[in-house]
Structure 1
Amino acid sequence: MNQESASPTEWLPFLSGGGMMGAMMRAHDWSASPLGHPRTWPQALRTTVGLMLNSKFPMFVAWGGELGFLYNDSYIAILGDKHPTALGRRFHDVWAEIWLDIHPLVVRALKGEASYMDRLPLRMRRHGYDEDTWFRFSYSPVRDEDGTVAGMFCACVEMTGEVLAQRYREEENERLVTLFEQAPGIIAVLRGPDHVFELTNRSYLQLVGHRALVGKAVRDALPEVKGQGFFELLDHVYQTGQPFVGHAVPLRVQRDRDAPLEERFIDFVYQPIHDQHGKVSGIFVEGSDVTARKRIEDELRAANRQKDQFLAMLAHELRNPLAPITTAAQLLQRGQMDAPGIQRASDIIARQAQHMTSLVNDLLDVSRVTRGQVTITREALEVREIVGAAVEQVRPLMDARGHELHCEIASGTLRVEGDRTRLVQVVSNILNNAAKYTTPGGCIVLSACIEAGDVRVAVRDNGQGIDPPILPYIFDLFIQAERTPDRSQGGLGLGLALVKSLAVLHGGRVEAHSEGLGKGSEFVVYLPCLAAAPEAGPRRLDVQSRGARGLKVLVVDDNVDAAQMLGTLLEMNGYEVKVEYDGKGALASALQAPPDVALLDIGLPDIDGHELARRLRAMPETTQAMLVALTGYGQEEDRQRAHHAGFDHHMAKPADLAKLLELLAAVAV
């Protein structure tokens, strides 16, 4: 009895200490356990349990034929909700959910063979739900006193947290690699003083061409870059530890095998990579291929230069005719000139005003063509007639410069479909260009023939030729083959741009050829050939004035000088003219003396010309009058607005007097 009442540690010294599990084993009811009471445990088991209880490493022992389960304090966390009921139970019952995974290892241990597993995945149910776990552990056989394997011993570490952390790191690394690979910018990592490629992304390979780079030194991987300064920059960054930033730096690289070097432009950063000791161990390369942006910027700068040059040319070209106009006007103001002098001054003013009108018309033509606002009237045309009309227009300039013009027109039919006025403009522009840029007494050849289904119209000269760098841009706006301070040839550099635009509108194309400065040039226009004979169109009848006497004309313009001079011209042609300078005065005049024709400016100070036209149309006295918009607004939309306002005709300032008299003559018939 004394022994029964004694404390367990007195007769079970191997259970002394052992923390919580030691205390539980001392107080545990072992009647239902396959292990029996600890008093009956063999010495080998007692020794193993004593070692286990006093270890801080998670451990368990499975002993006997049914593998009764014993464990220490550190193993409690692994058991989860299975503690404390797992104590003394069968190993199989404790870990039934993973038995199929661990049973082969248990069998090996019981056969005397130890095993070691690292990060073995096990799906456990220890907190009321299934969870994926990973363990590092060893199973070792435990022998009894006679050397027979009577159980097994396990020391283990749960690796679940570490495995999940590693998985997260791997996923993050994969995500970063994906981001690295798919990044729109160029990225590369270079290692060591030889700058060996460790990583490159897709954009980097697109820049330099798809080739094997990783593991190669940069000088070996990109030999064509030698001499461009990049290798030297890498050496400097590696040696000094100072980053380098480059903007729009040109790089000539062979992007395809056997292809010539291609120039690209890159923004980039060479950022040194430091190791744990602060020493440079590599270079991180990051940047962007900015070739497209650089080319756009260059084009914009070139366009801006062309704009500035054009504005300078425009100022020069407008001042040239203004100078003689101003001088002639001042001479006329003095009133001391005789009749021949007055005639000369008047001729100068008229001629220079016509030149200014031509300049403005060129500008308006370019504006309309480039904005797609030119309407082509298509009809079947004979190229001989177009060439003849163009030669007639340019003949005065040809004769003035003493040029010899040869026309070589192929026999047979040369028909095209298009707008007669615009095609005459095309041919006259290239003829005019040849006349201007050929020294006096030069030879110009105009030819027309059929070539590969097109009508080929060409103008060849023996003039100054075209500098090769200018040739690809000769049909661009504001381009001239020579830009000299004296501007001896004049013009705004618009003629050839119009030629190209109008040719394209007719389904054609243009070419320019020259072997260089001083070797002449040739401009060629190709237009689709029209095989079928054109139908006879209605004859144009010239309107002849049958007398202007008695026709009343109202001129309305807030520009007093312009109104008075136009009125004087009309009076000299026999018309009865009334001049007003604003809308209210015009309405009052129309009520007092209703006109047959009203010439109205649009930009009036009180009532704009469109509203004035509507009011005149609404008045019984002027409802049948012919209304003509005479304005500086000459675009197609301006013509349409005038038509909707009630105007019969629209004429751009300065008015062509012949056309105006033709209109008035039709009313006087």
Structure 2
Amino acid sequence: MTPATLHDQRVLVLMPTVRDGERTRAALATAGLECDVCADMADLCRRMTEGAAVALLTEEALTADRAGRMADAILAQPPWSDFPLVVLAREGTENRPEVNRETMNISLVERPIRIRSLLSMVKSALRSRRRQYEVRDHLLQHARQAAILRDQEERLQFALSAGRLGSWTLDLATGQMECSPRCKENFGRPAQEAFSYQDLFDAMHPDDRERVGEAVRRAIDNRTDYDAEYRNIWPDGAVHWVMVRGRATYRPDGTPARMTGVSLDMTDRRRDEDALRDADRKKDDFLALLAHELRNPLAPIRNGLQVIRYADTRAVREQSQNIMERQLGHMVRLIDDLLDISRINRGKMELRLARISLAEAVENAIETARPAIEKAGHELEVSLPAGPVMLDADLTRLAQVFGNLLTNSAKYTPAGGRIRLTAERDGGQVKISVRDTGIGIPPEALPKIFDMFSQVDRSIERSTGGLGIGLALVHGLVEMHGGTATAASEGPGQGSEFTIRLPVAAGLPTDSPQAGRNSPEVAPNRRILVVDDNRDSAESMAMMLQLLGNDVTAAHDGIEAVEKAGEFRPQIILMDVGMPRLNGYDATRRIREHSWGRDVTVIALTGWGQDGDKARSKAAGCDGHLVKPVSLDDLTKLLTELTTSAAKA
């Protein structure tokens, strides 16, 4: 109970004297009425404001109220209040202008009066006041309900706005429809424009009208929710998807009255879902193609092993070895391309920039692509600017870009075709184009030709080999060099043209890294410990190093590696990373803890080749990091670099 209702039932008494007041209070108390005796008119008015049911006072008190306190107190009452005044008047007075005021609820009682009559008058005034309280409570309840409804409406509007939902109501008898501004927006209409149910139906895609109409009828007949997604055509001709949900209400006789619901523009979600489905399909195709491409080299490798086992002549064995090396190189390139794409997409690819000439990058690319071009009998024409064009670029990666484009042209051009590589200065850029007379590119495929998993013709892709990621790699590497890559074709059978634009370096040319340098041979008589839980990998590496004159032993887990290192005291340890019992990182740390292990050269030799993997191996104490399968040239080059660095230190 609030303070304002504590005194709802009390009677305020104002009499000429204190004694009269007390006698009146005592008389009212006999009937169980709560009374407060007031000292004067000001006190009475103050208590009225605090809360009271009735005021019992004399006519003289009202007449003497020159300041109009009572009138002010009455006016200050809330709208529902008509405060009752029981006034004891003098007998025989006919005209009382000060008392009979229209603004006051006054009951006049002439004196003298019996106590019983007085009690009856006061109780009647109390009953009138209680009815006013009922009105007050009803108004308060109504106000609370209105506040709750306003709060719910605000919450609903916020939820609709946050969810980009539009609300609508359809009169099922008249077809009249009311739409919120957001609902109109979902159908491409401005908020101020009228939008009827017929407008909605006319905007619906013709192929969806029958299905949607049936969904509405089924929801009404079965008293279930209406739920549909359909296309609607906006005034500008664009086709949008909209999701609409609703529920019907019914009259007492069971006939449907109206349907109320929400709408949501689903165009972006539909587009995203289509893109995800397309990406998922491309991923599945890519995985199938990857399995195909990885199996292809395995067949000649296995055949070559059988030939070596049974061959009697050195020439046959060497021929088989050459085949196996080519196929192994093909597998390594496939895996390297995948890793490069992953690094580019994650922003982890690092370029080794240097001042190089465009001619040098093109020369290296042609050397890489020449076997494929010559095998297909293509004619290659190269046209470069007369003067040197210098670039600040990574020679290996830029040669990879041009090599991929040339190899791509060789792949998708029928035998005996023509491939033309041209370059020309264009202001502060150089424009390099690779054009062929191949199968061409359909117009619808051009916008996505550089996307990952994007393939124009899967049958040709399978027959020519490759994963369809070469162009994605080209695009990524060119952008990392600050350039652009574009594709053009007049259509199937009309050939293709790929254009690369790169910024030309300012200043004079400087020496560039030289490609194709021969790696030094492995110095013989080194003690080498090979650690790998894959026994075939460990033993084959050990055999190769032994054939080169080294003293080699092998271990197959981290614990064995630490034990054998203590016994064998190797100069070099080739350490696998992922091993049982103790991984390569922890094994390296344990070896470094010993005095004899501080000067050992430890090289991580693993299938994990991301930047984070290299950082972890370095933190564990490894001097270098090589990714399987490693070539002898790469291994000897790293060993030479480490030996040279140690000697200088």
Please give the per-residue CA displacement for 1:213-241, whole angstroms capped at 9, x wherever unaligned.
78653224674336241874587469857
Question: Does residue 1:260 correspond to 2:217, yes or no?
Answer: no
Identity %: 31
Question: Does residue 1:558 correspond to 2:525, yes or no?
Answer: no
3-state SS in 1 of match to 2:413? coil
Matches within 5 A, 1:297-446: 297-333=273-309, 335-446=310-421
Please give the per-residue CA displacement for 1:463-487, whole angstroms capped at 9, x wherever unaligned.
1122333322222222221112981
Equivalents in 2 of 1:262, 1:529: separation in Å?
A: 45
Q: 1:491 to 1:134 in 2, by over 3 A?
A: farther
Q: Name the counterpart of 1:246.
A: 227
- The answer to whether the 8 A contact 1:543-1:665 is kept is no
Please give the per-residue CA displacement for 1:315-356, whole angstroms capped at 9, x wherever unaligned.
1111111122222223434x3543332222222222222211
- The answer to whether the 8 A contact 1:238-1:280 is kept is no
Please give the per-residue CA displacement for 1:507-526, whole angstroms capped at 9, x wherever unaligned.
22322222322222222223
Please give the per-residue CA displacement for 1:83-135, whole angstroms capped at 9, x wherever unaligned.
66599998998xx78969xxxxxxxxxxxxxxxxxxxxxx946xxx7312389
* Larger fraction in helix: 2
Equivalents in 2 of 1:543, 1:345: separation in Å?
A: 24
Could you tell me how far 1:435 is from its partner in structure 2?
1.5
Equivalents in 2 of 1:330, 1:189: separation in Å?
A: 79
Q: 1:611 to 1:438 in 2, by over 3 A?
A: same
Q: Name the counterpart of 2:40.
A: none
Equivalents in 2 of 1:134, 1:210: separation in Å?
A: 51
3-state SS in 1 of match to 2:78? strand
Q: Name the counterpart of 1:601.
A: 576
Q: Select 2:78's aligned residue among 121, 128, 131.
A: 131
Q: Name the counterpart of 1:209.
A: 188
Q: Which amino acid aligns with 2:77?
A: D
3-state SS in 2 of match to 1:449? strand
3-state SS in 2 of match to 1:319? helix
Equivalents in 2 of 1:162, 1:544: separation in Å?
A: 98
Q: Name the counterpart of 1:18.
A: none
Please give the per-residue CA displacement for 1:289-336, whole angstroms capped at 9, x wherever unaligned.
333333333333222222222221111111111122222223434x35
3-state SS in 1 of match to 2:339? helix
Q: 1:327 to 1:303 in 2, by over 3 A?
A: same
Equivalents in 2 of 1:429, 1:92: separation in Å?
A: 111
- The answer to whether the 8 A contact 2:219-2:225 is kept is no
Q: Name the counterpart of 2:256.
A: 280
- The answer to whether the 8 A contact 1:191-1:283 is kept is yes
Q: Name the counterpart of 1:628.
A: 603
After TM superposition, the structure 1 stretch with the greater mean CA deviation from structure 2, 245-254 or 226-235, is 226-235
3-state SS in 2 of match to 1:285? strand
Q: Select 2:176's aligned residue among 193, 196, 200.
A: 196
- The answer to whether the 8 A contact 1:241-1:272 is kept is no
Equivalents in 2 of 1:262, 1:98: separation in Å?
A: 73
What are the ranges of 5 or more consecutive residues in structure 1 without an aligned counterpart? 1-78, 101-122, 136-149
Please give the per-residue CA displacement for 1:31-77, whole angstroms capped at 9, x wherever unaligned.
xxxxxxxxxxxxxxxxxxxxxxxxxxxxxxxxxxxxxxxxxxxxxxx
After TM superposition, the structure 1 stretch with the greater mean CA deviation from structure 2, 180-189 or 417-426, is 180-189
After TM superposition, the structure 1 stretch with the greater mean CA deviation from structure 2, 347-356 or 289-298, is 289-298
Question: Does residue 1:289 correspond to 2:270, yes or no?
Answer: no
Equivalents in 2 of 1:629, 1:274: separation in Å?
A: 76
Equivalents in 1 of 2:613, 2:231: separation in Å?
A: 49
Equivalents in 2 of 1:215, 1:241: separation in Å?
A: 31
Equivalents in 2 of 1:541, 1:490: separation in Å?
A: 26
Q: 1:538 to 1:455 in 2, by over 3 A?
A: closer
- The answer to whether the 8 A contact 2:490-2:496 is kept is yes
- The answer to whether the 8 A contact 1:243-1:270 is kept is no
Question: Does residue 1:506 correspond to 2:481, yes or no?
Answer: yes
Q: Name the counterpart of 2:91.
A: none
Q: 1:543 to 1:624 in 2, by over 3 A?
A: farther
Could you tell me how far 1:380 is from its partner in structure 2?
2.7
Could you tell me how far 1:187 is from its partner in structure 2?
0.9
- The answer to whether the 8 A contact 2:436-2:495 is kept is yes
Q: Select 2:53's aligned residue among 74, 81, 99.
A: 81
Equivalents in 2 of 1:475, 1:539: separation in Å?
A: 30
Q: 1:489 to 1:542 in 2, by over 3 A?
A: closer
Please give the per-residue CA displacement for 1:155-190, whole angstroms capped at 9, x wherever unaligned.
x99876777777677666666665565523221112
Give the TM-score of the pair, scaled to structure 1.
Answer: 0.70
- The answer to whether the 8 A contact 2:524-2:549 is kept is yes
Q: Name the counterpart of 2:198.
A: 219
What are the ranges of 5 or more consecutive residues in structure 2 without an aligned counterpart? 1-50, 83-96, 106-130
Q: Which amino acid aligns with 2:283?
A: K
3-state SS in 2 of match to 1:324? helix
Could you tell me how far 1:586 is from its partner in structure 2?
4.8
Q: Which amino acid aligns with 2:169?
A: V
3-state SS in 1 of match to 2:633? helix
Could you tell me how far 1:663 is from its partner in structure 2?
4.2
- The answer to whether the 8 A contact 1:386-1:424 is kept is yes
Q: 1:537 to 1:174 in 2, by over 3 A?
A: same
Q: 1:435 to 1:167 in 2, by over 3 A?
A: same
Please give the per-residue CA displacement for 1:576-596, whole angstroms capped at 9, x wherever unaligned.
444444555555555555444
- The answer to whether the 8 A contact 1:553-1:576 is kept is yes
Equivalents in 1 of 2:70, 2:445: separation in Å?
A: 84
- The answer to whether the 8 A contact 1:194-1:218 is kept is no
Matches within 5 A, 1:579-598: 579-583=554-558, 586-587=561-562, 590-591=565-566, 594-598=569-573
Q: 1:174 to 1:253 in 2, by over 3 A?
A: farther
- The answer to whether the 8 A contact 2:461-2:467 is kept is no
Equivalents in 2 of 1:456, 1:511: separation in Å?
A: 11
Q: 1:275 to 1:476 in 2, by over 3 A?
A: same
3-state SS in 2 of match to 1:402? coil
Could you tell me how far 1:537 is from its partner in structure 2?
5.9
Could you tell me how far 1:412 is from its partner in structure 2?
4.1
Equivalents in 2 of 1:409, 1:418: separation in Å?
A: 18
Matches within 5 A, 1:473-484: 473-484=448-459
Equivalents in 1 of 2:481, 2:468: separation in Å?
A: 22
Could you tell me how far 1:363 is from its partner in structure 2?
1.9
- The answer to whether the 8 A contact 2:434-2:499 is kept is yes
Equivalents in 1 of 2:561, 2:150: separation in Å?
A: 83
Q: 1:609 to 1:346 in 2, by over 3 A?
A: same
Give the TM-score of the pair, scaled to structure 2.
Answer: 0.72
Equivalents in 1 of 2:332, 2:521: separation in Å?
A: 30
- The answer to whether the 8 A contact 1:194-1:217 is kept is no
3-state SS in 2 of match to 1:525? strand
Equivalents in 1 of 2:621, 2:572: separation in Å?
A: 13
